[in-house]
Amino acid sequence: MRLTVTRTAPRGLLDQVAVVLLLGATWEVFGRSAAGQQANIPPLSDSLRQLLALTADPSFWSALGATLTNTGLGLLITVLIGVPVGLFIGLNRKASLSSSALIDFCRFLPAVAFLPLALLLFGATRDMVVSIVVISAVWPMLIQSIYATEQSDSVLQQVSKAFRLTRLDVLRHIYLPSATPFLFTGLRVSASIALLLSISAEFLGGAPGLGKTLNEALVNNKTETVFALVLISGGLGLGLNAVMHLARRRLLWWHPSERTEK
Amino acid sequence: MVQRLRDICWQVWLPVSLGALWWTLSLGSESIYFPALKNILAEFNNSWLFEHYWSDALPSILRLIAGFSIAVLAGIGLGVTLGLNSRLESAVRPVIDFVRSTPSTALLPLFMLFLGTGQEMKVAMIAFVAIWPILLNTVDGIRAVEPTLTNVAKTFHIRKSHQILHILLPSASPQIFAGARVGLAIGVIAMVVSEMVGRPGGIGYFILNAQRQFDMTAMWGGLVALGILGFLANFLFKLVEGRALTWHKGMQNRHKEGQS
């Protein structure tokens, strides 16, 4: 008989920390080397110091707030448009045939290409950023909503017909529960697109936000600030993913995909 | 037969009527922002076929192909390495997640600092942005290969390189193609963005420049060209995917028939 010994920390964690430390050390060394100086790359320590300095700067916080507001507002409008329209199209065969060509064309049109037009119409304002965010994030949401309606169990549909459930009941008890995981996937994708386009529109268009701060730092050759902002944006992206992950655990706790052993 | 015709009618009426609506509504248009569709198409005909095609569209397309190819090769290569070596993969996971979650526009300044504003920056940007979905999907695909297949390969002492080429990659190819499709779409976005901030040249620059000069008809023409480019790129990709994954579609159809 053999007794197993339990470990106190997951084995992978050491490896992960080692990789991060290794990369950090490489960055630091490169930044201090002659090649790094020539390429104007600041070492990690300077960037981190600048990051701390930024957190003390109120204009940074207002820029961050602007970016988050743009993303959130754009995402809200995206959901309000994308989910109902998507559900309608998915449930209605004629509607889905009518719109398939249009959706297939528009989903691949890069929304950033409309940035010059939006700049002319709205100027370098929040409206411009939100409009670009909505144009780009609505397609994944729409497509996932349409996809979601196709996923419901045919047996359940037949049961609902046998019991002559009303349209509303069918929607509430059959479509919505089976659709919610897919809607959530759409929300996750749309959320990352919303953040990306938010920062892009601010960067390219000059609307207030992290993107504009980044552009200013780049133009003024403040490379430590540039790197600090890149790290912060990465953190934002990670944070968004983490929020979505937690939200999924909360809202979809009943779904098999959340309840199976990982 | 009649049902097919009816379906085609339903598919066609909306785009056609929207197009006609746009045409008629904008016919007498005085607005600078929304010139008449007639003028846009005329301008498109004049300049993009085929003058601007050589000067703006072709460089963009070539950059896209170059960047995307790099992304596919590197993505599959790295994906296979990480997929086979789970310890390495879990060690590198946090870093990959961090870099992947960073909005790619935030990485643009990095590329501009390292590579300037020329061709290399644009191609590198496209490659860097497009590699992540391909990489992650390859890792997932390799991991999800039926253990039976790998066990049989081991029993027959099949060489590792042959295992990868003939067993693992074909088995993972549906996932890889799905990742590549996403990569292509965001690669196009990266192409446009990098051209907007980089040195002159390309469709993205053309659109931005036309707006700066208030030549709205040219700008809309550029948008039309970009839309066609994106649509064609995905259409071609779907064709390739369809040929390569015929076995997969057959398997899926059989499963569907089995279920219903």
The answer to whether the Cβ–Cβ distance between B94 and A16 falls below 8 Å is yes
Q: Is A99 on the interface with B (CB under 8 A)?
A: yes
Task: Pick A116's closest partner by Cβ from B11, B109, B207.
Answer: B207
Residue of B nearest to A194 (CA): B103
Q: Which amino acid does the sequence have at B251?
A: M
The answer to whether the Cβ–Cβ distance between B97 and A119 falls below 8 Å is no
Give how far A108 is from chain B: nearest CA, Å.
6
Residues from chain B that touch A94, judged by Cβ atoms under 8 A, are: 10
Per-residue model confidence as pLDDT tens digits over B176-208: 888 898 888 888 888 888 888 888 878 888 888
The answer to whether the Cβ–Cβ distance between B226 and A108 falls below 8 Å is no
Structure-token pair, residue A10 = 């997951």
In chain B, which among 98-157 make CB contacts under 8 A with chain A? 98-110, 112-114
Closest by CA to B125, choosing from B195, B182, B78, is B195
From CA B195, how far away is CA B50, in angstroms rounded?
21
The answer to whether the Cβ–Cβ distance between A16 and B207 falls below 8 Å is no
From CA A200, how far away is CA A197, in angstroms rounded?
5
**pTM for this prediction:** 0.82
Q: Is B18 on the interface with A (CB under 8 A)?
A: yes
ipTM score: 0.78
- Specify the pLDDT at position A9: 53
Structure-token pair, residue A200 = 């892009």
The answer to whether the Cβ–Cβ distance between A234 and B102 falls below 8 Å is yes
Residue B133 burial by Cβ neighbours in a 10 Å radius (0-12, 13-18, 19+)? buried
pLDDT band at A133 (very low <50, low <70, confident <90, very high): very high
pLDDT band at B66 (very low <50, low <70, confident <90, very high): very high
Residues from chain B that touch A15, judged by Cβ atoms under 8 A, are: 87, 90-91
The answer to whether the Cβ–Cβ distance between A120 and B91 falls below 8 Å is no
Q: Is A138 on the interface with B (CB under 8 A)?
A: no
Residue of B nearest to A232 (CA): B102
In chain B, which among 172-211 make CB contacts under 8 A with chain A? 185, 188-189, 192-193, 196-197, 204, 207-208, 210-211
Count the neighbouring beta carbons within 10 Å of the beta carbon of residue B116. 12
From CA B66, how far away is CA B219, in angstroms rounded?
26
The answer to whether the Cβ–Cβ distance between B193 and A112 falls below 8 Å is yes
- Specify the pLDDT at position B49: 65
Least confident of B28-32, B139-143, B156-160: B28-32
Residues from chain A that touch B226, judged by Cβ atoms under 8 A, are: 109-110, 113
Residues from chain B that touch A111, judged by Cβ atoms under 8 A, are: 189
With DSSP H G I counted as helix, E B as strand and the rest as coil, what are the percentages for chain A, rounded to 5? 80, 0, 20
Give how far A233 is from chain B: nearest CA, Å.
6
pLDDT band at A262 (very low <50, low <70, confident <90, very high): very low
Residue with tokens 């370098």: A124
Residues B80/B138, Cβ–Cβ less than 8 Å: yes
Least confident of A128-132, A232-236, B4-8: B4-8
Q: How far is CA A127 from the centre of its chain?
A: 19
Residues from chain A that touch B219, judged by Cβ atoms under 8 A, are: 116-117
pLDDT band at A23 (very low <50, low <70, confident <90, very high): confident
Calculate the average pLDDT of chain A. Answer: 82
Residues from chain B that touch A218, judged by Cβ atoms under 8 A, are: 109, 112-113
Residues from chain A that touch B223, judged by Cβ atoms under 8 A, are: 109, 113-114, 117
Give how far B156 is from chain A: nearest CA, Å.
32
pLDDT band at A215 (very low <50, low <70, confident <90, very high): confident
- Could you write out the DSSP letters of every residue in B156-189? TT--HHHIIIIIIHHHHHHHHHHHHHHHHHHHHH
Calculate the average pLDDT of chain B. Answer: 83
Q: Which among B6, B189, B191, B217 is the top mutation candidate for probing chain A, defined by the most A β-carbons within 10 Å of its own β-carbon?
A: B189
Least confident of A33-37, A195-199, A225-229, B218-222: A33-37
Terminal-residue alpha carbon distance, chain B: 24
Residue ranges in A33-123 assigned as alpha helix (H): 34-38, 44-55, 58-91, 93-106, 115-122
Whether the predicted pLDDT of B94 surpasses 50: yes
Strand, coil or helix: what is B144?
coil
